[in-house]
Chains A and B, each alone.
Chain A
Amino acid sequence: MKTDTSMQIPQLQVDNISIGYADRTVVEGISFQLKPGEIACLLGPSGCGKTSVLRAIAGFEPLMQGSITLHGKTVSSSVMSLPPEKRHIGMVFQDFALFPHLTVVKNIGFGLQKLPRKQRQQRVEELLELVELTDAKNQYPHQLSGGQQQRVALARAMAPRPDILLLDEPFSSMDTELREQLAREVRDLLRRDGVTAIMVTHDQHEAFAMADQIGVLGQGKLLQWGNGYDLYHRPSSRFVADFIGQGVLIPGEIIADNKIHTELGIVSGKITSAATSGQQVNLLLRPDDIIHDDNSPLKAEIVGRAFRGAVYLYTLKLQSGQQILCLVQSHHQHDIGEFLGIRLEADHLAVFSDLT
């Protein structure tokens, strides 16, 4: 079975692409591929070039180098670029970009001109049901709520059964509380239709809720490609460690294959990157790696705390002055200035050798 999937033609293959303008390179040497039905996400801070990658796949940005292959057919290279209308893609824009002069039905049917009328109507009905907008089908975009508008935009992009669906920060104009829920809903929708999709966002929670695979971009480079768990627990670089989740880096020395000596004592666990004994490193400690334990001999002073509902996030100061973060269930209340007993419990040890 395993060989079968690897034999399959990738739905999308991005091969070593660079995008830029005369004076500056926006994106450099990015490669990744998607299997049919896979949902991926490009995650990164604003200005990292993630939207440029998406627009290059859509055919709105030319490539300086590399190539993009859709369903086995090269659509972009440094010398050619198939126009967007010939690529058979679907795109959902940040502002939805609904056609204000057309009803919901006509918006969704916009890309189905080539189908005979009957089939077109049938496909539109199907999608209206899928996004649960049958009741609103004759309304105009300005009469819809933000969430409804987004579903129309999604249905419109999915209607012609594109080879790949591109989503450009599709949730950024929604309320923060709604985003994750919407991301999950959209994911379910895409799954049901078996759509291959790639989304761009700067919000890691959206990315986690939506994607099978996440690519983290920083300063125009693809830094890591993997699932949410890997990115959080096995970040390949300090940038990814900083960008995903919270945490601090504390200095330590590798004393054995799976042991690091730090201010908190000797930590054992699987070291995620190649390291040699005696090497000075920085160890990534996530707030959930530090466990509150009143019986522990190790104490740290509370210097800050933030209420997070179920938990408190405490900022603790070690003897050396080094600060660390610790999550504690919120029914344990401690004041600033108190000393908290802590214990280290990490199974993955992400270490970075650069001591800056």
Chain B
Amino acid sequence: MSLINQFRPYPLFILVLAIVLSMPVVVVLAHVFVPSGDIWQHLSSTVLPDYIRNSLLLMLGVAIGTLLIGVTTAWLTTMCQFPGRSVFEWALLLPMAMPAYIIAYTYTGMLDISGPVQMALRDWFGWQYGDYWFPQIRSLNGAVVMLTLVLYPYVYLLSRAAFLSQSICVLDVSRTLGNGPWKTFWRVALPLARPAIIAGLSLALMETLADYGTVQFFGVSTFTTGIFRTWFGMGSAAAAAQLAAGLMVFVFALIILERYSRRKARYHHTSRRHQDLRRFQLTGGRAALAFLFCLVILSLGFLLPALQLLSWTVHVADTVIDAQFLRLLMNSLSLAAFAAVLALILAIVMAYAQRLYPGKLVSGAVRVAGMGYAVPGAVIAVGVMIPFAWFDNTVDDLARSHFDYSTGLLLSGTLVAVTFAYLTRFLAVSLQTVDSGLTRITHSMDEAGRSFGFRPLQILRQIHIPMLSASLMTALLLVFVDVLKELPATLILRPFNFNTLAVKAYELASDERLAEAAPAALAIVIAGIIPVILLSKTITRSRKLKLAIDEN
């Protein structure tokens, strides 16, 4: 494509869109150069070392935990045969439906001094308060455990895909060369899956960095809680932005790690010809151990907290589920639906631009627009708030000096700001889904359509839309659920007195009204199960496809 093509209206529009969507990140990074005076000095001499230390420890702990759990469960469910394996295969994804801040406060309620666990202990052993030691859940270690329990599915998902794509022949070769099953795992299967495992790990760590609810609730000071404190406590936007920029350094490191691993993974691809996976048949004690391990992980990550939420909800349903709750539900659902539709439209526009105007400029613009997913919500919120507030103030000043009229807040503190933040953060999700759907429609399909005398619009209607509809639906659902779960950006940017399920659950939990927070939290978890179902469907589909290939 010539350069001229890139400056037609359509590609140009994409370019502008990318610039607008990258604004929050640019604003944050630009603030590194804005002097914030004493506050920054104060921060760096007091709390900043804590933020860095805690964030690093958190990442280290989550990395170890998600690796151990994710890789082990992936290996067990793909390569071994034991009772319940086919259920665990998808069920192990369920913890993804559980936002970290929700599991955190659920466990707090369960493990509290007055919670069911300690009560049972006291009952059984006849202990009194203070007679026994009990681990403090509201701590850095507690946060590591909570985040690990809900983030391991990223590692599980990607390493599972890697194990599945390994040619069984490669493992067989290792056997014929004198390596037993264990040695084959360590010397062949694991090194081959390493890039995929690291990619999954970097995703989990990005989520760790983005977490606000858990660390705030547990009183662990990290970058995200620091951003909130500087913004609301000290009222310094510049210093908050600088903290956000500091957080971005970590995020960029992870993005680079992830990209690098994925590139490397291409070379770790073995042949496309698969032989039927012959799973190692586990028997007796080993089978029981594998079953128990998966069951414990699933229970801790999903079943127990979900049951607790359910029981709280049942308990408080009479008082909490009222007209106000329904308004809350409607607020959340309509906001999420609106953002999802908007993201879908933008994603379609961008994906088609990439198809119609292949070239560095457009694909670069699309990539920039999709970068927000890696950026923590708190960072985006700061990056949205600062320019919007500036815009409001400027307009207000102008109006006042010229017309003697105050325009007030036009953008900041409105739904526009919240929606814009959602778009920058979650556009990547719908973009990726739409794009992968669109690449399945090859150019030769278009050409085949043209050769039958179809006009472009007919091709769109008769070929593209039917083939894309599933991807579009998926894109819509994924963004919808992500928005529903999103906490920090909503907390900062929401209009005054506008509540969502996530915000309400968080606020009630912060006030130690754990049981009352349960209905909202449960609603989020139920919505969160949707993408898990979609994912597990993809898994079954790929397995069926593989079976069909093997039959031939």
**Which of chain B's residues have a CB closer than 8 A to the CB of A111?**
176-178
Binds B, one of A93-101, A128-136, A341-349: A93-101
A163 to chain B, nearest CB (A): 12
**Which of chain A's residues have a CB closer than 8 A to the CB of B180?**
83, 85
Given contacts A100-B192, A101-B268, A140-B267, contact A89 B167 (CB under 8 A): no
User: Who on chain A is nearest to B177 by CB?
Assistant: A111
Cβ of B269 < 8 Å from any Cβ of A? yes
Given contacts A93-B169, A94-B169, A142-B267, contact A99 B188 (CB under 8 A): yes
Measured as residues with beta carbon below 8 angstroms from the partner, the interface class of chain B is 20 to 34
In the complex, the answer to whether B178 meets A114 with C-beta atoms within 8 Å is yes
User: Who on chain A is nearest to B171 by CB?
Assistant: A97
In the complex, the answer to whether B172 meets A160 with C-beta atoms within 8 Å is no
In the complex, the answer to whether B172 meets A113 with C-beta atoms within 8 Å is no
- Selected from B169, B176, B267, the residue in CB contact (under 8 A) with A100 is B267
B280 to chain A, nearest CB (A): 11
B266 to chain A, nearest CB (A): 8
Within 8 A of A (CB), among B250-289: 267-271, 273, 278
In the complex, the answer to whether A95 meets B167 with C-beta atoms within 8 Å is yes
Given contacts A85-B179, A100-B268, A111-B177, contact A94 B273 (CB under 8 A): yes
- Selected from A85, A95, A140, the residue in CB contact (under 8 A) with B176 is A85
Give the complex CA separation of A101 and B261 in angstroms: 13
**Which of chain A's residues have a CB closer than 8 A to the CB of B268?**
100-101
Taken residue by residue from 88 to 121, chain A's Cβ proximity to chain B (1 for < 8 Å, 0 otherwise) reads as 1111011111111100000000110110000000
**Which of chain A's residues have a CB closer than 8 A to the CB of B271?**
95-97
Cβ of B327 < 8 Å from any Cβ of A? no
In the complex, the answer to whether B178 meets A101 with C-beta atoms within 8 Å is no
**Which of chain A's residues have a CB closer than 8 A to the CB of B399?**
none
**Which of chain A's residues have a CB closer than 8 A to the CB of B178?**
85-86, 88, 111, 113-114, 160
Give the complex CA separation of A110 and B167 in angstroms: 17
User: Who on chain B is nearest to A84 by CB?
Assistant: B175
Cβ of B393 < 8 Å from any Cβ of A? no
Given contacts A60-B172, A84-B172, A91-B172, contact A97 B270 (CB under 8 A): yes
**Which of chain A's residues have a CB closer than 8 A to the CB of B169?**
93-95, 97
Within 8 A of B (CB), among A52-108: 58-60, 83-91, 93-101
A113 to chain B, nearest CB (A): 7
- Selected from B172, B191, B194, B278, the residue in CB contact (under 8 A) with A97 is B172
B385 to chain A, nearest CB (A): 46
Cβ of B549 < 8 Å from any Cβ of A? no
Cβ of A157 < 8 Å from any Cβ of B? yes
Within 8 A of A (CB), among B224-270: 267-270
Taken residue by residue from 137 to 156, chain A's Cβ proximity to chain B (1 for < 8 Å, 0 otherwise) reads as 00010100000000000001
B549 to chain A, nearest CB (A): 14
In the complex, the answer to whether A110 meets B174 with C-beta atoms within 8 Å is yes
Within 8 A of A (CB), among B168-221: 169-170, 172-180, 187-188, 191-192, 194
B182 to chain A, nearest CB (A): 11
B165 to chain A, nearest CB (A): 11
Given contacts A85-B178, A85-B180, A114-B178, contact A99 B172 (CB under 8 A): no
B262 to chain A, nearest CB (A): 15
At the interface, is chain B mostly helix, strand, loop or mixed?
helix
- For A, the interface residue count at a CB cutoff of 8 angstroms equals 32
In the complex, the answer to whether B176 meets A157 with C-beta atoms within 8 Å is yes
Give the complex CA separation of A96 and B278 in angstroms: 19
Given contacts A97-B167, A97-B270, A99-B188, contact A160 B173 (CB under 8 A): no
B276 to chain A, nearest CB (A): 11
Give the complex CA separation of A140 and B278 in angstroms: 28
In the complex, the answer to whether A100 meets B270 with C-beta atoms within 8 Å is yes
In the complex, the answer to whether B192 meets A99 with C-beta atoms within 8 Å is yes
In the complex, the answer to whether B176 meets A90 with C-beta atoms within 8 Å is yes
Given contacts A95-B273, A100-B267, A142-B267, contact A58 B176 (CB under 8 A): yes
B550 to chain A, nearest CB (A): 13
Given contacts A83-B180, A142-B267, contact A99 B175 (CB under 8 A): no
**Which of chain B's residues have a CB closer than 8 A to the CB of A140?**
267
Which of A83, A96, A101, A160 has the most C-beta atoms of chain B within 10 angstroms of its own C-beta?
A: A101
User: Who on chain B is nearest to A142 by CB?
Assistant: B267
User: Who on chain B is nearest to A95 by CB?
Assistant: B271
In the complex, the answer to whether B267 meets A84 with C-beta atoms within 8 Å is no
A197 to chain B, nearest CB (A): 14
User: Who on chain A is nearest to B175 by CB?
Assistant: A84
Give the complex CA separation of A89 and B270 in angstroms: 22
A302 to chain B, nearest CB (A): 39
Give the complex CA separation of A256 and B278 in angstroms: 58
In the complex, the answer to whether A101 meets B192 with C-beta atoms within 8 Å is yes
Give the complex CA separation of A58 and B188 in angstroms: 19
Give the complex CA separation of A93 and B167 in angstroms: 11
Which of B167, B176, B188, B271 has the most C-beta atoms of chain A within 10 angstroms of its own C-beta?
A: B176
Which of A91, A140, A166 has the most C-beta atoms of chain B within 10 angstroms of its own C-beta?
A: A91
User: Who on chain A is nearest to B180 by CB?
Assistant: A85
**Which of chain B's residues have a CB closer than 8 A to the CB of A86?**
178
Give the complex CA separation of A33 and B178 in angstroms: 24
Give the complex CA separation of A34 and B169 in angstroms: 25
**Which of chain B's residues have a CB closer than 8 A to the CB of A160?**
177-178
Give the complex CA separation of A114 and B183 in angstroms: 13
Which of A58, A88, A90, A96 has the most C-beta atoms of chain B within 10 angstroms of its own C-beta?
A: A96
**Which of chain A's residues have a CB closer than 8 A to the CB of B188?**
99
B99 to chain A, nearest CB (A): 36
**Which of chain B's residues have a CB closer than 8 A to the CB of A84?**
172, 175-176
Give the complex CA separation of A94 and B177 in angstroms: 16
**Which of chain B's residues have a CB closer than 8 A to the CB of A157?**
173, 176-177
User: Who on chain A is nearest to B272 by CB?
Assistant: A95
Taken residue by residue from 145 to 169, chain B's Cβ proximity to chain A (1 for < 8 Å, 0 otherwise) reads as 0000000000000000000000101
User: Who on chain B is nearest to A97 by CB?
Assistant: B169
Which of B191, B194, B268, B270 has the most C-beta atoms of chain A within 10 angstroms of its own C-beta?
A: B270
Given contacts A84-B172, A93-B172, contact A100 B177 (CB under 8 A): no
User: Who on chain A is nearest to B178 by CB?
Assistant: A85
In the complex, the answer to whether B269 meets A97 with C-beta atoms within 8 Å is no
Within 8 A of A (CB), among B83-111: none
User: Who on chain A is nearest to B267 by CB?
Assistant: A142
Give the complex CA separation of A86 and B180 in angstroms: 9
Which of B178, B179, B188 has the most C-beta atoms of chain A within 10 angstroms of its own C-beta?
A: B178
Taken residue by residue from 290 to 306, chain A's Cβ proximity to chain B (1 for < 8 Å, 0 otherwise) reads as 00000000000000000
**Which of chain A's residues have a CB closer than 8 A to the CB of B267?**
100-101, 140, 142
Give the complex CA separation of A84 and B172 in angstroms: 8
**Which of chain A's residues have a CB closer than 8 A to the CB of B194?**
101
Give the complex CA separation of A140 and B267 in angstroms: 9
In the complex, the answer to whether A89 meets B176 with C-beta atoms within 8 Å is yes
Ranked 6 nearest A-B pairs via Cβ? A111-B177, A95-B271, A97-B169, A84-B175, A93-B169, A91-B176
A residues apposed to B, CB below 8 Å:
58-60, 83-91, 93-101, 110-111, 113-114, 140, 142, 156-157, 160, 162, 166
A-B CB contact pairs (8 Å), 9 listed: A58-B176, A85-B179, A97-B270, A98-B170, A100-B269, A101-B194, A110-B187, A111-B177, A157-B173
Given contacts A111-B176, A157-B177, 20 further A-B contacts (CB under 8 A): A84-B175, A85-B175, A87-B176, A89-B176, A94-B169, A94-B273, A95-B167, A95-B270, A97-B167, A97-B169, A97-B173, A99-B170, A99-B192, A100-B269, A100-B270, A101-B191, A114-B178, A142-B267, A156-B177, A160-B177
